[in-house]
A = this chain, B = another copy of it.
Amino acid sequence: MDPDSAVIIDTRRSCWATLRTVPIKNIQLEHGFWKSRLDVNLEVTIPTQYALLESTGRLDNFRRVVHQLAKPFQGYVFNDSDVYKWLEAASWAAKIDACSELRDKVDQVIALVSAVQTGDGYLNTYFSMEREGERWTNLQEKHELYCAGHLIQAAIAHHRTTGEDSLLMVAIKLADHLYATFGPSGREGTCGHPEVEMALVELFRTTRDARYFERARLFIERRGHGILGGKTYLIDHVPFDKLMYLAGHAVRALYLCAGVTDIVLESGDQQLRLVLERLWSTMVHQQMYITGGLGARHDGEAFGEPYELPNARAYAETCAAIASVMWSWRMLLLTGDASYADLLEWTLFNAVLPGISLDGRSYFYVNPLQDSGFSRRQAWFDCACCPPNVSRTLAMLPGYIYSLTDSGVWIHLFTSSNVILNLVNGERLVLRQVTSYPWEGKVIVEIIDVSPPQNAVIDSSMSEPFSIFLRIPGWLRDDQAEIRINDQPYRHQIHSSTYLEIHRSWQKGDRLEIIFPMPVVFNVSHPMLMENAGRIAISRGPLVYCLESADNPRVYLPDVSVDPTSKVDSSYFPELLGEVVGLRLQGRVNMTEDRWMDHLYQPFSSSRTHSKLSGIEVACIPYFTWANRTPGAMQVWLKVFE
């Protein structure tokens, strides 16, 4: 196996993939937005989560089995998965030898996990000792395959970033046990909580053992035939290829879609691909918050009906946003379609990042778009799926920035970074990206080096032509971007939500300069989204903004209306949140009329009585930064002047 293969998803041999992924260790983030987030992840979040795995008994659950201790299993049946997600986060975040203290902890945890595995490959601390006899008896509710999936993903991350096999061998042994148990002559089961499908396909990509791929496919095909009780909650109400829109538990549905996309990447199944495109499109056009948040319902943590997107009562679980990123990434690798990259970026900024505090120590599970100030991030949860999921997502983020095709390099995300790319012709390309994105729209891409293949005999200063595929974000209007190459304007039609291919003989020292204007946009909703009628949500570049009481202390936020024609002042709010661009614009406070005192419903009056108005300056902050200061109200959708 190739320790150079530290890709988060390995599509380099996937026959149906448009894009090939780039090893994460070839990418070095530089000072900028994502570097600061990832530094906090590595230095604060991952260590504090380890301490919480310890203090909440999640690691003791493993020790209990290793040492056969006479004490009960602690917490939820799926608590092992939090340990695995932490292992995965630590593996991607630390890369090789970046942090020896963390490596030691990772090794200790791996030793514990390995020691729990039984001779036949089975591994789950809940179904050990007194519950050994109950293994695989309740796939609908007990998350055994789900936990196995997270172990496999952690093992792959560990293997790819360290080159070591210690955890990978455990995962392979477990996967072989799954094959024996659920194989052609085994049980007719599938998991209530999809997740293992993605893991098994990735294990196939790692080992090229096709049995794992087949197992994943079988787990998907078994859904929708009633073996999970036919429940919508478990996405068992119809077979996957009959789904017309997403319903049921949002994280489960989205993990399943991501797993199916993995299947299509390897099999090229065109019917499944059409289903995926249909589901993704319906989701984006009818079921998604403007933040990219998914799963509107608290009840069943589920997708709502079309246009059922309550703001204060949004569920929008952080894990659902993460699952959406995982799915969009796979759809992007499959198709090369910029729509998927647009959603991936938008969701990272506006639906995943809100899930973690700026200091990296607390988390939102539920992400309302309007709040009276009672929602606050928590240091942990009994059901702690979100915290380590955020952590692993941030840790693997460098892997989302670039990818490759035979034609050249694709730039998906804009953040200061250096990357080494091995082009198909054998050339080694070193790129540098410098930007203050998302705060500012200028991105500079420099060719640091283009080295010919080592066995090449041609002039090393004359590299072969190749393309840079530059993502033109969907939040931009057509032809708004300004592009220069070596200080010369590059004149070309530029369509938003596409990749602009720039094909030339790129030379060492070439400099590609992109300037995205960052206008403030006032967004309105589809007329069927009734709660947002007469309201706008503000965005700037890839960021959704909101009002928070901390900046607007003397007003009741629901009384505020804003003037969508007013000039908006964008400026750094350093005194508040560090380097964050906030917005200031003209607003009014429409005091609710006295006639509404003690009335919920009243007869319609066509002569509108004047409400008491007073002009104010309204200050907005990026949605992902809310709830980091004095507790107070927050609101995304704002009334407009009447």
- Give CA–CA (A372, B304) in the complex, Å: 13
Q: Which of A529-569 contact B (CB under 8 A)?
A: 529-537, 558, 564-565
**CB-CB contacts below 8 Å: A544-596 with B:** 558, 564-565, 590, 592, 596
User: In chain B, what residue has the closest Cβ to A559?
Assistant: B527
Partner of A534, one of B533, B592, B598: B533
Known: A308-B312, A534-B533, A534-B534. A601 touches B524 (CB 8 A): yes
Contact status A528-B592, CB under 8 Å: yes
Closest B residue, CB atoms, query A309: B600
Chain B minimum-CB-distance residue to A374: B305
Report how far A602 CA is from B599 CA in the complex, Å. Answer: 34
Given contacts A533-B533, A534-B533, A564-B606, contact A527 B600 (CB under 8 A): no
Instruction: Report B-chain residues with C-beta under 8 Å of the C-beta of A522.
Output: 603-604
Q: Kindly identify which residue among B305, B536, B558, B602 contacts A312, using a CB–CB cutoff of 8 Å.
A: B305
A379 CB–B CB distance under 8 Å? no
* Contact status B308-A600, CB under 8 Å: no
List residues of A (298-355) whose CB comes within 8 Å of B's CBs: 298-299, 304-305, 308, 310-313
Nearest chain-B residue to A536 (Cβ)?
B604
Give A380 Cβ to nearest chain B Cβ, in Å: 20
Q: Which chain B positions have C-beta within 8 A of A514?
A: none
* Interface locus among A149-157, A278-286, A409-417: A278-286
The count of residues in chain A whose C-beta lies closer than 8 Å to any C-beta of chain B is: 50
Contact B600 A286 (CB under 8 A): yes
A603 and B533 form a contact (CB under 8 A):
no
A604 engages B564 (CB within 8 Å): yes
**In the assembled complex, A525 has its CB within 8 A of some CB on chain B:** yes
Known A299-B297, A310-B313, A565-B606: A596·B526 in contact at CB below 8 Å: yes
**Known interface pairs A285-B598, A312-B308; A604-B534 also in contact (CB < 8 Å):** no
Q: Which of B311, B313, B523, B535 contacts A602 (CB 8 A)?
A: B523
Interface residue A429 (Cβ < 8 Å from any Cβ of B): no
Tell me whether B598 and A281 are in contact (CB under 8 A).
yes
* Contact of A601 (CB < 8 Å), options: B525, B596, B598, B605: B525
| 6 CB < 8 A contacts A-B | A298-B298, A522-B604, A523-B601, A524-B605, A526-B601, A530-B531
Additional A-B contacts beyond A523-B604, A526-B596, A530-B532 (11; CB < 8 A):
A285-B598, A285-B599, A305-B372, A521-B604, A522-B604, A523-B601, A524-B603, A526-B599, A527-B558, A527-B592, A530-B531
